[in-house]
Amino acid sequence: MPRPVQTIRTARPAILTLLFLLLSSAFTATASAQAFAFTVTSTDDDGDADLNDGACVDQSGECTLRAAIEQANALIGGTAIIDFDLSGAPPFIIDSHAGSLHIQRDDVLIDGSSQSTAPNPEIEIRGPGITGSSHDGFHIEGDNNEIRGLSIIEFDGDGIFIDGSVNIVTENLIGVDTAGNRAGNGGNGIRLTEGSSYNRIGEPGQGNVISDNSQRGIAIGLGGADMNTIQSNIIGAAPDGKTAMGNFMEGILVNQGNGNIIGGDRTQNEGNLIVDNGRRGILATSSDETSIRGNLVGVNADGDAMGNDGPGIEVRWTNLSQVGEAPPEEMGNVVADNNGAGVLLEGSGSTGNIIAANELGGIDLSGGPLIIHANDGPGMVDHGTKTTIGGNGSDDGNQFWSRGMELHGKDGFASNNNITACDNTGIYITGSEYGIGSSSALTQNIINACDGPAISIVGSGAIENRIERNSMQNNDGPGIDLGNDGVDENDPGDDDTGPNNRQNSPELITADYDFEQDELTVTFKVDSTTGNSAYDLKIDFYRDNSSTTERQSLGWLGSALYENTDAQSEVTVTVSGLPTIYQEGEVIATATDADGNTSEFSNALRYGGIFDDRFEQD
């Protein structure tokens, strides 16, 4: 007979006990009566001898896993707990010759960790020798079930197939045997089918190892598989997190499921390790409000390169999803060494997504060195609409190493990102209506030591891209390059077209700095007619980076308005309150029209310069 799980209470004073019983005796009796345990004592695969007797006993008088599941399925209501007490030495091998192990009800716990106190699974559920069509290891058709502490290997279908909600899968080896060797399943490691919601795959300190499977590590969808959580798993590596095993396709696929959570706070061990998979590390397609935070994608915690054979993270035709979040050491993803872009956002219909606080192309180990493992593609590629890359907060920005970003979408925003030592252009734009930097933000993009222009805007459709308050140093090209063809000469009246309408840059005529008043006075003009540029123009002044012959902005000094009545005329403006480090140097400027078309940088003029007696230079 199944063993009732009893509730034991200490003695209480008579009145309190009576009150307690009056209020809750019905619930207590029901809970106790409905919780039953079946203990597996045999590694055979025989079914139960009599499903009507309530006892887990096969024809040999033993309780097998299959018989225990059959008895659990036969219960009406209640909770079934299946634990293990197998004799002999591990590993304990259960060959599932009779096919998939079906859980066809709610509230079943299969607890492989009950076999011993060993930290890793000792029981292998194997699928070789099954005849007929594809068979899964476990097939769950109910809610609130849990599978814990097993090795599930060598099935020709999925390791675990879930058609239900609020199920939990923790501490399992799926596609890996108890010795940590490859033993993959023929389908996905875990598959959640359409309509399966609020399931948890892994928990902090109780993650699964899901590797060497012939399809995806984890597949969610199609349709209506919402609000599932995937945390603390190793996907594509051995249990040591160092030995590459991969899965043949994506590490994680989410297809038409909304609100799913992949990862979490790295400092709480909620992130996943996703490495060495045969396609993308993570693919979310047609899946709105997906959260991808705190994962290591393509590199492990020691900084070892274990890239996925495709983009690290791809979000496709998806709205309002978030890849990374501040603070970066907790919620940002590390995406490196992947055979594609670090983060790829596809689909012009992908709207309102946020890419923030990620490390792209390297890993900055806490207390250790910076380790660079470039992605083969750009650090980030955007084809979406209204994408935010970074954000207004100082911790929102992404850190790019070795590769910059490409922006091919529309109406996006990029701020507070740091792009370092990229092998081409820092930010490459073919899209329109991007805001690169923002007058409302405190700290903007830093683009340093790239082997090309800091920012290139290319193509006739690349218009209305606003570029403000960025810091550029030691790049091998202009700070802003309209056309990616070197510095443009202003044309009379500015009637040419092209990227950002090839807005003419200001012509600086004089620049003087009054040290006592802390004022920079600049005389300039912009040769753009009111018919060729949308007035008024905003003129931003910058301290030029004098360490390079290219025109690059080291820091923002201030701005002025060039009104339509000023068009093509000289005006003089004063900028005050310069930071101390910028009270001497060379000034350059950009012009941005009312539609958001920003020019290249102007010519540079020297200003300031103080002798020891604090008199200005002539």
Rama region for 246: left / alpha / beta (φ>0; ψ in -120 to 50; rest): left
Q: How confident is the model at residue 2 (pLDDT cuts 50, 70, 90)?
A: low
Task: Give the bridge partners for 94, in sequence order.
Answer: 125
Question: What was the pLDDT predicted at 33?
Answer: 46
554 in Cβ contact with 544 (< 8 Å) = yes
What pLDDT shows up at residue 438?
64
Alpha helices for 403-509 (secondary structure H): none
Q: Which residues contact 275 (CB under 8 A, 6 or more apart)?
A: 235, 236, 237, 244, 246, 251, 281, 296, 297, 298, 299, 300, 306, 307, 308
What integer pLDDT is reported at residue 615 of this predicted model? 47
Helix (H) or strand (E) holding 535, with range, is none
Instruction: Report residue 32's pLDDT band, with 50, 70 and 90 as the boundaries.
Output: very low
Is residue 558 a contact partner of residue 518, using CB atoms and an 8 Å limit? no
Q: How far is CA 603 from CA 18, 56, 600, in A?
A: 90, 87, 10
Report the relative pairing of strands 35-40 and 3-4 from DSSP bridges.
antiparallel
35 pLDDT band (50/70/90 cuts)?
confident
Q: Find how far residue 603's CA is from the centre of its chain.
A: 41
**Euclidean distance between CA atoms 327 and 180, whole angstroms:** 34
Place of tokens 């950009």: 590
Share of the chain above pLDDT 90, in %: 85
Q: What CA dihedral angle connects 418, 420, 423 and 428, to 10 degrees?
A: 20
Amino acid 25: pLDDT: 37
Q: Is the pLDDT of residue 277 over 60?
A: yes
pLDDT confidence band for 128 (50 / 70 / 90)? confident
CA separation for the pair 577, 557 (Å, rounded): 8
What pLDDT does 611 receive? 42
> Helix (H, G, I), strand (E, B), or coil: what is residue 367?
coil
Q: Is 211 helix (H, G, I), strand (E, B) or coil?
A: coil
495 in Cβ contact with 534 (< 8 Å) = no
Distance CA 385, CA 350 (A): 6
Residue 416: predicted pLDDT: 95
> What 3-state class would DSSP assign to 358?
coil
Q: Rounded to an integer, what distance in angstroms lies between the CA atom of residue 583 and that of residue 114?
A: 71
* Average pLDDT over every residue of 447-474: 96
Which residues does 340 contact at the CB level (< 8 Å), separation at least 6? 280, 310, 311, 312, 375, 376, 377
Closest CA to 380 of 435, 441, 453, 429: 429
Give the whole-angstrom CA distance, residue 26 versus residue 19. 13
Asked if CATH classification 3.90.1300.10 holds for the domain at 506-607, the reply, yes or no, is no
Q: Which two tokens stand for residue 217?
A: 């590590």
Domains of the chain, by residue range, sit at: 506-607
The whole-number pLDDT of residue 23 equals 34
Chain centroid to Cα 326, Å, comes to 12
Cα gap 566→564, rounded to integer Å: 5
Token pair of 230 as six digits: 């995937």
* pLDDT grade for 526, boundaries at 50, 70 and 90: very high
Q: With bands split at pLDDT 50, 70 and 90, how would you rate the model's confidence at 13?
A: very low
Per-residue pLDDT reduced to its tens digit, 172-195: 999 999 999 999 999 999 999 999
Mean pLDDT, rounded, for 590-611: 91
pLDDT tens digits, 365-379? 877 789 999 999 999
Cα–Cα distance between 27 and 338 in angstroms, integer? 54
What phi and psi values does residue 220 have, to the nearest 5 degrees? -120, 125
The mean pLDDT value for 561-573 works out to 98
User: What is the number of other CB atoms lying within 10 angstroms of the CB of residue 61?
Assistant: 9
For residues 316 and 204, give the distance between their C-alpha atoms in angstroms, rounded to a whole number: 28
How far is Cα 211 from Cα 273, in angstroms, rounded to an integer? 11
Q: With a cut of 60, say whether residue 475 has pLDDT above it.
A: yes
Q: How far is CA 120 from the centre of its chain?
A: 28
Task: Find tokens 């507070």 and name the residue.
Answer: 416
Q: For residue 330, give the H/E element and its range.
A: helix 328-331
Whether the predicted pLDDT of 557 surpasses 90: yes
Q: Count CB neighbours of 111 within 10 A.
A: 18
In this structure, is the dihedral angle defined by the CA atoms of residues 201, 203, 204 and 206, taken in order, positive or negative?
negative
**Gap between the Cα atoms of 151 and 242, Å rounded:** 19
| Mean of pLDDT values over 262-277 | 98
Distance CA 103, CA 167 (A): 11
Question: Are 450 and 419 a contacting pair, CB within 8 Å?
Answer: yes
- What does the pLDDT average to over 445-473? 96
**Average confidence (pLDDT) over 387-396:** 94
Dist. CA 488–CA 207, nearest whole Å: 56
> Following DSSP, what letter does each residue of 390-410 receive, concatenated?
E-SSTT-PPEEES--EEE-SB
For residue 591, give the 3-state DSSP assignment.
strand
Question: Residue 330: is its pLDDT beyond 80?
Answer: yes
pLDDT band at 547 (very low <50, low <70, confident <90, very high): low
Helices (H), 59-183: 65-74
The pLDDT value given to residue 610: 55
**For residues 506-518, average pLDDT:** 96
Give residue 19's pLDDT.
35
Q: Distance (Å, rounded) from C-alpha 52 to C-alpha 68?
A: 13
For 280, the token pair is 């993308």
pLDDT in the model for residue 514: 95
* Cα(346)–Cα(289) distance, integer angstroms: 15
**What is the pLDDT, as a whole number, of residue 423?**
94
Q: What is the pLDDT of residues 300-319, one digit of tens each?
A: 999 999 999 999 999 999 99
Give residue 144's pLDDT. Answer: 98
Structure confidence at residue 222 (pLDDT): 79
- Length of the chain (residues): 618
What's the pLDDT score for residue 563?
Answer: 98
Residue 556 — φ and ψ, nearest 5°? Answer: -85, 135
Tell me how far apart the terminal alpha carbons of the chain are, to the nearest angstrom.
102
Give per-residue pLDDT as tens, 50-88: 999 999 999 999 999 999 999 999 999 899 999 999 999
Return the bridge partners of 370, or none. 364
Beta strands in 478-609 (DSSP E): 480-482, 507-514, 519-525, 537-544, 553-562, 571-576, 584-592, 605-608
The whole-number pLDDT of residue 458 equals 98
Indicate if the pLDDT at residue 123 is higher than 60.
yes
Q: Give mean pLDDT, residues 99-110.
A: 97
| Alpha-carbon distances of 265 from 236, 239, 262, 422, rounded to whole Å | 20, 21, 11, 28
Phi-psi region of 540 (alpha: psi -120 to 50; beta: other; left: phi over 0): beta
For 201, the enclosing helix (H) or strand (E) is: strand 200-201
